[in-house]
Amino acid sequence: MRRVCFVLKVRQDRLAEYRERHAQVWPEMRRALSESGWHNYSLFADERGMVVGYLETEDFDAARAAMAKTEVNARWQAEMAPLFEGLDGRPDEGMLPLTELFHLP
């Protein structure tokens, strides 16, 4: 299982909405993530809008591709895109993995 960590930037004036939406992620979105190979998926945010995501997956590229094929993901990304800054596309396309430097199992 590969650990993946990424960062994104939410517009500070939309951070409350971002938090509210993630407090109630659609059941079909949660199901699609699981079925697409996203495991142990977490999001963290600070007050400036910096979002750190973490997940475990066998193959991140394959997991992203599987989600990209789902209708629910297209709807979710379209609704979430205006909340972010510095992205030219959908938020899920801006998830660039960070390089792991240390891990204590």
Which of the residues are catalytic? 22
Report yes or no: 73 and 62 within 8 Å, Cβ to Cβ.
Answer: no
Cα–Cα distance for residue pair 41/86, rounded to 1 Å: 23
Contact 32, 72 (CB under 8 A): yes
Distance CA 76, CA 26 (A): 9
